[in-house]
Amino acid sequence: MGQPDSIDWEILKVLQDQARIRNVDLAGKVNLSPSPCLARVRTLEQSGVIKRYVALLDAAALGLGVSVFVWVRLEREIGSNLEVFEQAVTARPEVMECYLMTGTSDYLLRVIVPDVEAYQKFVVGFLSRIPGVGNIQSSFALKQVKYKTALPLAAPAVR
């Protein structure tokens, strides 16, 4: 697939907000008939532009009310330490996001747990035991001011 055109961009905008929209309704919103609309969605899926469809859950309503941002510095930034760390955190369900960073820390994690005790167990029983971890700093989120999953899509300017 080449670059998405303006209709594809409109489809993506709608699907980011309403992933379960019926194809006939999506087609109406982007001014297409249902068959070509479905073909475009399938092409966006097959090309990997649309990775998957998910249900967004309310963490607090499910008893997962503690969100922690964790900065991790490794003892040495060598390939094997990076791989060991990344494999370990990837396997943990409470690690929602993990980024390799520039600056004073090597990684930034976003961790969701039910309470402070669960976070302590995560740090003491798991994170601090990963070979190569040198320093761990944590910041507890007091309030979520903004959270979104939709990318800021704007169709590219026509040349």
pTM across the whole model: 0.86
Task: Name the 3-class secondary structure at 69.
Answer: strand
pLDDT tens digits, one per residue of 64-112: 999 999 999 999 877 788 999 999 999 999 999 999 999 999 999 999 9
Distance CA 109, CA 112 (A): 10
Class of domain 6-46: mainly alpha
- Fold for the domain defined by 60-140: Alpha-Beta Plaits (3.30.70)
Distance CA 134, CA 128 (A): 8
* Annotated domain spans of the chain: 6-46, 60-140
Tokens encoding 27: 């087609």
pLDDT tens digits, one per residue of 17-52: 999 999 999 999 999 999 999 999 999 999 999 999
| C-beta of residue 12 within 8 angstroms of C-beta of residue 4 | yes
